[in-house]
Amino acid sequence: MELDWTYFFSLFSMGAFYRASVTVITLGSLAWSLGLVLGFGLAQAEGSRLPWLRWPAKAYIWFFRSVPLLVLLVFVYNLPQIFPATGAVLGVPFGAGLVGLVMTEAAYMAEIHRGGLLSVVKGQREAAQALGLGWWSTQLRIVLPQAFRIALPTLTNEFVTIIKLTSLVSVISLPELLLTGQRLYTQNFLILETLLAVAVYYVAIVTVFGALLGALERRLDVVRRQPDALAGPALERLRHGLGDGPLMPRPDRGPGAPPALELMGIHKAYGAHAVLKGVNLVVEAGEVISIIGPSGSGKTSLIRTVNALESLDRGEIVLFGESHLQGGAPMDAARVRRGIRRIGMVFQGFNLFPHLTVLQNILLAPGLHGQGSATEQRERALRLLDKVGLLAHLHKYPHQLSGGQQQRVAIARALALRPEVMLFDEPTSALDPELVGDVLKVIQDLASEGMTMLIVTHEMEFALQISDRIVFMENGLLQVDVRPEQLRQARSGAGADDPIERVRRFMQLSH
């Protein structure tokens, strides 16, 4: 028996199939879009620390991934028999089909989103928190764009699956492609020709929308983009238009001015392991303090408590005379964020936002916090880039820069909020030796401008050159607080119990 090709080709001029195609596209697109949004909410709930959010989300995902879609569609369509008020939506085949598809797809989308969310490293959220971004801003500006880009290939595949699953809605008499074909071949018995045409319609829909989503994926893939650096006259014109006012607030060192930071009785433990055991430290405005000590002594944990990246178990942190953080007390999130905006943080691993250009990284926080007009924010960002020697690279993405360049961008990003205190967590330890000098030069320039700084570092010679005081930590305590000249003038050969000699030996070993 031969196929009736004339009949087969006639099906591509039949209005019923085009109307059915519109139904498939509309139903599939709505189910995908709504499932995308609801699935993201479920993924967030599933990853929550709150049991009353986490367990219902897990139960929903388990149940709707287990129930066959065909069974769910029939149940939803007949639900108005139990709850008549739902008839306006669920009594209509399109409405019932959409609800059934969304309920199922939200569960599958949640697991896709969860994979995307898990791929966004913790440092991205910490960088957002250090810039004073709230939970919603962090999710919308930092986490979601990265998670969506990573999950997009799988989400595209899920769109294809949804388009094909719309054929099951024929069970509740929605005139989509399969049902339209069935009604035809029950009249003329040309089953193969009709189903072949139905398959072609599905392939065409999947091909077109797959290509569109593929184009979106390529557009969001910043790795494919070529480096774009300014050079020559264009760079000079841009630099020529920049102002020359002060970039950083001057520290108030007048009589009666409070210290920039007061750390009083800081305790912090991870489980049974105490990392900070009652640290006390006063940092005056304009001081540069280097924190040194062996690995595991609590250096990084200490500065992370200052901008609330780690909570306090006990103790209090006072910022310019105002209580900033208290251990064991409920935190006022708005007040803490206001304090954090006065503190800049530069991480060991850079933590630049990979989906944003260099300029966008710097502009993000000032824009969200409304610090001046858009023109003022842009001029300040450009001046900061010029200050760190990277104005020519403003349109590049982080992956297009060297490690030293990325760290200098991270410093400029932190400075964009005009902080009064800067925290550096081993800013050069992730760099190749030849890249260290450029980063240290930027920090040294900040010190000469009077910026208050706490620096965790293993660069001992640099610490001696730049610091007003060097603090030695060991076993979760500040063992020695000494000025560099005291270390230089101390006599060698002092007893092993002499604290300054202990610091000198450590610096020699580390050097």
Residues 478, 381 share a domain: yes
In a domain? residue 269: no
Residues 348, 492 share a domain: yes
Q: What percent of the chain has pLDDT over 90?
A: 49
Q: Tens digit of pLDDT for each residue in 186-210?
A: 888 888 988 999 999 999 999 999 9
Task: Report the mean per-residue pLDDT for the chain.
Answer: 88
Residues 184, 67 share a domain: yes
Let me know if 5 is exposed, middle or buried by CB neighbors in 10 A (0-12, 13-18, 19+): exposed
- Predicted confidence (pLDDT) at residue 4 exceeds the cutoff of 60: yes
| 492 pLDDT tier (thresholds 50, 70, 90) | low
Segment 76-100 mean pLDDT: 91
Q: CA separation (Å) from 133 to 113, 119, 136, 146, 390?
A: 22, 20, 8, 16, 25
- Predicted confidence (pLDDT) at residue 154 exceeds the cutoff of 60: yes
Q: Tens digit of pLDDT for each residue in 103-122?
A: 999 999 999 999 999 999 99
| 252 pLDDT tier (thresholds 50, 70, 90) | low
Residues 442, 363 share a domain: yes
CATH number for the domain that contains residue 167: 1.10.3720.10
Cα 219 from Cα 64, distance rounded (Å) = 33
Residues 35, 168 share a domain: yes
Looking at the DSSP bridge assignments, the partners of residue 263 are 281, 317
Residues 297, 198 share a domain: no
| 415 pLDDT tier (thresholds 50, 70, 90) | very high
In a domain? residue 64: yes
Closest by CA to 141, choosing from 335, 401, 356, 382, is: 356
| 317 pLDDT tier (thresholds 50, 70, 90) | very high
In a domain? residue 257: no
User: What is the DSSP pairing of strand 469-474 with strand 477-482?
Assistant: antiparallel
- Predicted confidence (pLDDT) at residue 71 exceeds the cutoff of 90: yes
Range with the lowest mean pLDDT among 86-100, 160-174, 423-437?
423-437
Whose tokens are 């591509």? That residue is 12
End-of-domain residue from the set 220, 243, 274: 220
Number of domains comprising the chain: 2
End-of-domain residue from the set 220, 237, 272: 220
Cα 409 from Cα 401, distance rounded (Å) = 10
User: What range does the domain containing 188 cover?
Assistant: 5-220
Cα 370 from Cα 332, distance rounded (Å) = 21
The confidence score (pLDDT) of residue 249 equals 67
- Predicted confidence (pLDDT) at residue 44 exceeds the cutoff of 50: yes
In a domain? residue 19: yes
The confidence score (pLDDT) of residue 511 equals 43
In a domain? residue 118: yes
In a domain? residue 396: yes
- Predicted confidence (pLDDT) at residue 495 exceeds the cutoff of 60: no
Residues 212, 94 share a domain: yes
| 494 pLDDT tier (thresholds 50, 70, 90) | low
Residues 494, 369 share a domain: yes
Q: What percent of the chain has pLDDT over 70?
A: 95
Closest by CA to 197, choosing from 184, 210, 213, is: 184
Residue pair 189/124 in contact by the 8 Å Cβ criterion: no
pTM of the model: 0.86
End-of-domain residue from the set 220, 238, 266: 220
In a domain? residue 73: yes
Q: Tens digit of pLDDT for each residue in 368-382?
A: 998 888 988 999 999
> Is the CA virtual torsion 350, 131, 365, 420 positive or negative?
negative
